[in-house]
Amino acid sequence: MELHVLVRSVHGELVHQLSGEDAMVTLAALKEQLPTTSGYFLRTLLYKEELLADDVELNQLPQPCELTLVLQTASWSSELLTAAHYGDLAKVETALRNFGDPDSQDERGGTALCMAASAGRLPLVQLLLKAKADPDLEGADEQTPLLQAADGGHLAVAQHLVEQRCDIDKAEFYGETPLQVACRKGHAEIVLLLCAARANLETQDDDGQTCLMAACNAGHTGIARVLLEQGADPRHAEAQHSTSMGLTGCSHGAEGSVPWCLGDIRDGLPPR
């Protein structure tokens, strides 16, 4: 059977059309293709005023057929937030199917996506982004989902958020960016991911600390080397050390000064 499906808005405007040989296309796949900014779970399709389930195969409908797209309105959902807190994927999906707002926030500003990212729950992150959760919406302490993933060392979650084109340089309340947090915590793979995504190497937090300084202060020599290889400017770190502002260097022993640490690392690097 050859498919010929028209999707119209409630006002009769053509939204989408699908035609071609039967490929066992489901309604869920059709909903994914619709050119709308509304989240997946807010898209409902009617055939002759009857709501269709996601698992309906389009070849089961008379051809040609015309479907009506109804965009639902999302509302704040305590059920969504509770389910996200406990990492209950099924209950989160149920809340979304009941038109829960994926950007619902609790009394501290926490969002479902921030909770999922902080815990490293990739399937939950993927589900919420499918529902059009804002990847840059800040939770508690103005921390974005990417920053929370970087803080916890959750590489797969961080990579998925970067692929969704989130703001990789968005800082939290104290001015730290996701890259600075990853450098301070020693999460080398996330540092490499963010460098590859062209994160800003020279941003400074409220204390004037750069990514390189964060790595050196925490003793992460390997990360400091990566940052220098990527073009980080060592002068901020050296200047802060020379004015005795408390930088301790990449080693916690007697040799551990920033000039020693950075000089040792730069010895093996090509000239800038």
- Does any domain span residue 243? no
Q: What is the pLDDT of residues 187-211, one digit of tens each?
A: 999 999 999 999 999 999 999 999 9
pLDDT band at 234 (very low <50, low <70, confident <90, very high): confident
Q: Where are the alpha helices (DSSP H) in 21-176?
A: 27-33, 78-85, 89-97, 112-119, 122-130, 145-152, 155-163
What is the H or E stretch that residue 226 is in?
helix 221-229
- Tokens read off for 5: 């499906």
| pLDDT at residue 65 greater than cutoff 50 | yes
Reply yes or no on whether the pLDDT at 55 is more than 50.
yes
Residue 253 has pLDDT above 60, yes or no: no
CA distances, 147 to each of 24, 55, 134, 142, 221 (Å): 40, 36, 14, 10, 22
Whether pLDDT at 252 is above 60: no
In a domain, 114, yes or no: yes
Q: Which amino acid is at 264?
A: D
For residue range 84-104, what is the model confidence (pLDDT) as tens digits?
999 999 999 999 999 999 999
Token digits of residue 172: 């939290």
Q: Which domain holds residue 31?
A: 2-71
Which pLDDT score, from 0 to 100, does residue 263 have? 59
Q: How far is CA 186 from CA 35, 79, 232, 246, 270, in A?
A: 41, 35, 17, 19, 24
223 vs 20, higher pLDDT: 223
pLDDT, residue 238, reads 62
Tell me: pLDDT of 241 over 70. no
Quick check: 128 pLDDT over 70? Answer: yes
Domain boundary among the residues 108, 143, 169 is at: 169
Looking at residue 231, the DSSP 8-state letter turns out to be: T
Q: Are residues 80 and 148 in the same domain?
A: yes
Q: Which of 154, 169, 184 lies at the terminal end of a domain, its last residue? A: 169
Q: Would you say residue 132 has pLDDT above 60?
A: yes
Q: List 8's β-bridge partners, or say none.
A: 14, 68
- Measured distance CA(22)–CA(14) in Å, rounded: 22
Predicted TM-score (pTM) of this structure: 0.86
**Is the separation of the CB atoms in 151 and 183 below 8 Å?**
no
Tell me, yes or no, whether 226 lies in a domain: no
Indicate which CATH number applies to the domain containing 62. 3.10.20.90
Domain end residue (candidates: 169, 204, 221): 169
Instruction: Decide: 66 and 72 in contact? Cβ < 8 Å.
Output: no
> 57 pLDDT exceeds 80?
yes
Does 187 reside within a domain?
Answer: no
Q: What is the average per-residue pLDDT within 49-67?
A: 93
- Give pLDDT tens digits for 102-120: 999 999 999 999 999 999 9
pLDDT band at 248 (very low <50, low <70, confident <90, very high): very low
